Structure 1
């Protein structure tokens, strides 16, 4: 300790100004202001921080009455005003994300101030339980914006809005928009690379996405009153399409047209409604897409219902058209009103993926590294669906290994696995025996599996236990998670 004191001056005081700024950027604003007591050199350094973040850590969180909440609201706004008025440097990033803060007209002054300071990255998150805040028009004069995130507010661009020529990232969550917002707004953001629209109101009409630099697109809504299409998106590589409303009336382009307009697609996340629109009863589903998805590496399907006519054909078509697929996730659901299933309605996934039934399929999963199968089935009447979900053959022709080994499959996750389904054990053994480089296996089993093991009620379970035990001990780590 004596050596440190005798070696020179105060190390904190002697830090260069740019190093002090780097330190202050990573501190909460309340802590950054307190550093003014460290030394004379640090006294006013916090006033020139280029990034200000006001989040839950900025206010005291406690159970409040209505009057206390109103007082907290005023005090928080007053402290924000003080922080802004005392600033003497440029503003590059501003975040206001206090969900308990009720929006009011005082926010207009903050937006006006930020617009005049040339802010580049702006995030405004308001309370969902309060009256919707009408965004001040001065926001659209912030022409230096590169990133804009808005939540729980109403946005109406003024007639004089000329566009955000530098905007690359736009995220709208629970925002009320005018019906022609995207028609008028997107062309005025020529450099847009990322667009996320989640639970927004006001979307209707035709939405033709023309964004030559767009790389990421997310659309999550509870209803669907628009017809959208990708007109000019040559760089779009990440797409999320998720909504709950039935879109079979033409809201989504047909499968061939959609993927033809996405030549650079790498990650595709989709839910049941979109796939159901693609299925269309299974009549017009091709065996493969005319244009293969050479760059598609991640395919994630949610709430898939395989007993819907044509759904399996859509699934297999997309798999067959993705020669470089690395990660596959299938979350299976069922139609609970179906008590009996016709086993011959559609071919099983297993048979369609076999080389003898689907020519050329021996190369479709050669690059697969990660596979997750999530099943939400629970009733006895739906057990047959699980057989399809886990690629179980209709007949007894289940090989010990599939004809083409999954050389790159390293991670396999299966949830709610029930081994009392006919031939389920054989399929599982076949899958792991066909994956020579599998190094991580996670299984969530239902209680019936433990009972079957205890009573040795099935020779297949016994075979499975022996094969799997030898495989796990020598090849990979295995996690057994009991179902709740």
Structure 2
């Protein structure tokens, strides 16, 4: 039998069209254009790729110095125009993420261009001009399924009827109208994912009405947030910046009673909740009950960050969440230590007193389903040890205890902490400790 040998060039040329397209989409536009020299079959393929990404790699112009920002912007925009001019075919994804562009009118032309191309995924981020107002043609891009904006103004025109196909919305440092949450979200009936970070303009009281919403993330200035008609909401993370102390704090309200019980009653389907010390402290100021009247039966993942147990309010909120989550599978905490405020060796921490007062012993029903416990950026404090003691004594199905030391923690402290934790009684015989060692001098 005679064997037929193919050269490498022939194998590349004869690749299926869908494989060629996947290769081109994975490359930066400039590199995709260079594939035109491979063969006659490849010569024009790059001109019809459905995803156009203009980012920092596209904007590299070696012959222009950083000080010549205007010239650089002009050359970048000229290259973008050239790419759009030769493009032939539908565009499903369009990304403009180039720092330092200062030509708002040119960006208007780009938005107008893609809005007529049936784009489903549009991203505009990392601009240096803060006063750019999104062109009204964006609101006629009715095929949009994903929209990501950063550093601009988003002011819907009066004729805007909504994005009927939009499922993902991410906004960062965007100026919004005061009634954005009230009017805009109701015009996005299938929205599933909403992320709002450091945005200005919305009213102090935000009412989230989104029947298809599954994940909601908020970070920014203090807001009164309520959830209405969100039957599918399973993941919630809200953080508010405390401008006086420059720390991130969560502040979450649901009703006029402003209590934790009312909050979680509005999102009974929640499976993942991410909060920080600010939420616990705020809830504690409002007389948090030791146990939630309606346990969070659906909650399986709880993450609390920037904990600093310096007052009883923090501890009360933490214990209430633990006691109110009977089906918790994964618990992650990140504790910020104030070493001068920590209990001495012979002193019992407040958190331990509260846990013992609630009867969190080996016979307790709390954490009966917990399988994974994580301490992130551990400072090796007595408070963390007390929480570890509590988890080990109450989690019969525990499989993994993962403790990651803070980067500035000495090996001596790491060893002392781990040896102490290993001495505690465990109700789970299969609990395994993972403690990455810090490579430092003891």
User: Shift of residue 441 of structure 1?
Assistant: 1.7
Which of these residues, 388, 407, 422, is aligned with residue 383 of structure 2? Answer: 388
Correspondence 1:150 to 2:143: no
Q: Name the residue aligned to 1:261.
A: 266
Q: Is the Cα contact below 8 Å between 2:238 and 2:252 reproduced in 1?
A: no
Cα pair distance change 1:431/1:299, threshold 3 Å: farther
CA distance in 2, matches of 1:7, 1:83: 32
Q: Is the Cα contact below 8 Å between 1:126 and 1:151 reproduced in 2?
A: yes
Q: Name the residue aligned to 2:238.
A: 241
CA distance in 1, matches of 2:93, 2:432: 43
Which of these residues, 284, 289, 292, is aligned with residue 286 of structure 1? Answer: 289
Q: Name the residue aligned to 2:89.
A: 89
Q: Name the residue aligned to 1:428.
A: 421
Deviation sequence 1:120-152 (CA, Å, 0-9, x none): 000111324x34321111101101100000011
21-30 or 250-259, which deviates more: 250-259
CA distance in 2, matches of 1:435, 1:278: 32
Q: Name the residue aligned to 1:441.
A: 434
Deviation sequence 1:49-92 (CA, Å, 0-9, x none): 11111111112277975652221211111111111121221111
User: Shift of residue 245 of structure 1?
Assistant: 2.5
CA distance in 2, matches of 1:69, 1:362: 65
Cα pair distance change 1:330/1:158, threshold 3 Å: same
151-160 or 297-306, which deviates more: 297-306
Q: Name the residue aligned to 2:212.
A: 213
Deviation sequence 1:426-459 (CA, Å, 0-9, x none): 852344755532334215xxxxxxxxxxxxxxxx
Relative to the length of structure 1, the TM-score reads 0.78
Secondary structure at 2:11 match in 1: coil
CA distance in 2, matches of 1:234, 1:5: 61
Unaligned 5+ runs, structure 2? 244-248
Correspondence 1:185 to 2:180: no
User: Shift of residue 300 of structure 1?
Assistant: 1.3
Cα pair distance change 1:408/1:303, threshold 3 Å: same
Which of these residues, 220, 226, 229, is aligned with residue 229 of structure 1? Answer: 226
User: Shift of residue 165 of structure 1?
Assistant: 0.5
Q: Name the residue aligned to 1:413.
A: 403
User: Shift of residue 373 of structure 1?
Assistant: 2.7
Q: Name the residue aligned to 2:246.
A: none
Q: Name the residue aligned to 1:349.
A: 351
Q: Name the residue aligned to 1:138.
A: 137
Q: How many residues align?
A: 428
Q: Is the Cα contact below 8 Å between 1:234 and 1:261 reproduced in 2?
A: no
User: Shift of residue 170 of structure 1?
Assistant: 0.1
CA distance in 2, matches of 1:353, 1:337: 23
Q: Name the residue aligned to 1:367.
A: 369
Which of these residues, 320, 325, 329, is aligned with residue 328 of structure 2? Answer: 325
Q: Is the Cα contact below 8 Å between 2:64 and 2:72 reproduced in 1?
A: no
Cα pair distance change 1:249/1:72, threshold 3 Å: closer
CA distance in 2, matches of 1:254, 1:155: 33
Larger Rg: 1
User: Shift of residue 214 of structure 1?
Assistant: 0.5
Cα pair distance change 1:4/1:54, threshold 3 Å: farther
Q: Name the residue aligned to 1:316.
A: 319
CA distance in 2, matches of 1:435, 1:102: 60
Q: Name the residue aligned to 1:295.
A: 298
